[in-house]
Amino acid sequence: MKITGYELFLVPPRWLFLKMETDEGIIGWGEPVIEGKARTVGTAVEELMENLIGKDPLRIEDHWNLMYRSGFYRGGPILMSAISGIDQALWDIKGKYYNAPVHQLLGGKARESIKVYSWIGGDRPSDVGNSAKEVVSRGFTAVKMNGTEELQYVDSYEKIDQVIERIAAVRDAVGPYVGIGIDFHGRVHKPMAKILAKELEPFRPMFIEEPVLPENNEALRDIANHVTIPIATGERMFSKWEFKRILMDGYVDIIQPDLSHAGGITECKKIISMAEAFDVAAAPHCPLGPIALASCLQVDATCHNAFIQEQSLGIHYNQGSDLLDYIVDNMVFEYKNGYVKIPEGPGLGIEINEDHVRKMADIGHNWRNPIWRHTDGSIAEW
């Protein structure tokens, strides 16, 4: 079997899909994208695919090393996201070739299902109490929300109080035992992160996410020594080598590699297994489309330390198109009592509605994240 060609589809709300073709008629799908830089990643995919046309798609480990190691310059969000989508498509082909789900080829399932959480609020969260109550009424047992708007390096306690008011509203709405993930989104710098984390402790969050920017991960030491809340990070880390240092430092409790950013199925399986050796949990990042989520679930199935999965159904970014619009069988992602079953179909376990993909690719998108500025006019972290 040989790889004969591929197509890229820029589809709403902000995704890029890859269709990989073989001479035996087996098709694989991947989702290579950086949110806001979809076309840039698409160009990287085109460059990487030059070396894969005519090759056997089943030699995934060799292809991964070719894509990563054969270039003098490597890593980073663009190249690793391109590798991720190609890797997903290769695994999809391999699973279909052997008529087995990817998790079976990775050693088999360690679980039948995994807990999922639902996003509430938006970039500037409001009315989160009612949103949380509605989500819990649909069976979810965990939610996640942006904790803050923009914060200066040192900002006012008024903004801290506003965050606490929102978290209190959620906790009051859902009771004491529903999990609340609070995403700092890298918007909080070290001086304020310690204050905010300490103020949040009474609400017993499930975790605080990206309490500082990943380039400032050394600051996690002070935060970890300051509070008892589990610390999560990793959505903007792109290889096992980046996760190596944070695991060795010992100040993170939950890693969040993204299956469309951190090297795909091949690399994220290794990253999560590395974390298991440090007694660190995994909650893969996935505010993206159905191919990315299916890839996450295939890896989650095989990793003992994966405990919850992000998913994008109803997330505030999904305007006009949503997670289930691009697949034939919506029930493959049926959320029941806060869990989703591991897909059992061959490959990634989902069937892409190619007619709908082509229709929506004619519309396309030019999604960009908002640009925020502080009152003084300086650029704020989004």
* CATH number of the domain enclosing 23: 3.30.390.10
Residue 314: the pLDDT is 80
The encoded tokens of residue 104 equal 């079976």
**Residues 82 and 228 reside in one and the same domain:** no
**Residues 119 and 168 reside in one and the same domain:** yes
**Residues 33 and 45 reside in one and the same domain:** yes
Q: Are residues 310 and 286 in contact, defined by beta-carbon separation less than 8 angstroms? A: yes
Question: Residue 112 class from Cβ within 10 Å (0-12 exposed, 13-18 middle, 19+ buried)?
Answer: exposed
Those residues whose C-beta lies under 8 Å from the C-beta of residue 287, and which sit 6 or more positions away, are 35, 119, 310, 312, 315, 317
Q: Are residues 326 and 12 in contact, defined by beta-carbon separation less than 8 angstroms? A: no
Domain presence at residue 312? yes
Give, as one character, the DSSP assignment of residue 291: H
Amino acid at 196: L
Among 79, 100, 121, the domain-final residue is 100
- End-to-end CA separation in angstroms for the chain: 45
6-46 confidence digits (pLDDT tens): 999 999 999 999 999 999 999 999 999 999 999 999 999 99
Place of tokens 């003992």: 304
Domain presence at residue 66? yes
Compute the distance between CA of residue 277 and CA of residue 290 in angstroms, rounded to an integer. Answer: 30
Domain presence at residue 243? yes
| From 63, 103, 189, 285, the catalytic residue | 285
Q: Which of 276, 260, 217, 270 is nearest to 240 (CA)?
A: 270
Cis status, amide bond into 32, omega within 30 of 0? no
Residue 322: the pLDDT is 86
185 catalytic? Reply is: yes
The encoded tokens of residue 273 equal 């297994």
Compute the distance between CA of residue 207 and CA of residue 194 in angstroms, rounded to an integer. Answer: 14
285 catalytic? Reply is: yes
> pTM for this structure?
0.96
Residue 24: the pLDDT is 97
Find the radius of gyration of the CA atoms of the chain: 20
**Residues 315 and 256 reside in one and the same domain:** yes
**Residues 67 and 149 reside in one and the same domain:** no
Q: Which domain holds residue 38?
A: 3-100
Compute the distance between CA of residue 32 and CA of residue 16 in angstroms, rounded to an integer. Answer: 6
**How many domains does one find in the chain?**
2
**Residues 218 and 275 reside in one and the same domain:** yes
Residue 159: the pLDDT is 93
**Residues 207 and 312 reside in one and the same domain:** yes
Domain presence at residue 118? yes
CATH number at 210 reads: 3.20.20.120
**Residues 212 and 261 reside in one and the same domain:** yes
**Residues 108 and 95 reside in one and the same domain:** no
Q: Where are the beta strands (DSSP E) in the chain?
A: 3-11, 15-22, 27-30, 113-119, 142-146, 179-183, 207-209, 231-233, 254-255, 281-282, 308-310, 335-336, 339-341, 372-373, 379-380
| From 185, 189, 261, 365, the catalytic residue | 185
Residue 308: the pLDDT is 98
Domain presence at residue 356? no
Residue 321: the pLDDT is 84
Domain presence at residue 64? yes
Residue 122: the pLDDT is 76
**Residues 263 and 190 reside in one and the same domain:** yes
Question: For each successive 10 residues of the chain (382 residues), what is the average pLDDT?
Answer: 98 97 98 97 98 98 98 96 98 98 98 95 82 93 93 94 94 96 93 95 97 95 96 98 97 98 98 98 97 98 98 84 92 94 98 97 96 96 92
User: For 54, what's the count of Cα atoms within 13 Å in the CB-facing half-sphere?
Assistant: 2
Q: Are residues 335 and 116 in contact, defined by beta-carbon separation less than 8 angstroms? A: yes
Domain presence at residue 370? no
Give, as one character, the DSSP assignment of residue 155: -
Domain presence at residue 342? yes
Among 47, 67, 100, the domain-final residue is 100
Among 100, 132, 150, the domain-final residue is 100
**Residues 316 and 174 reside in one and the same domain:** yes
Residue 325: the pLDDT is 93
Give, as one character, the DSSP assignment of residue 337: T
**Residues 8 and 144 reside in one and the same domain:** no
Residue 318: the pLDDT is 85
Pairing of strands 254-255, 281-282: parallel
Place of tokens 């694989």: 28
Residue 121: the pLDDT is 86
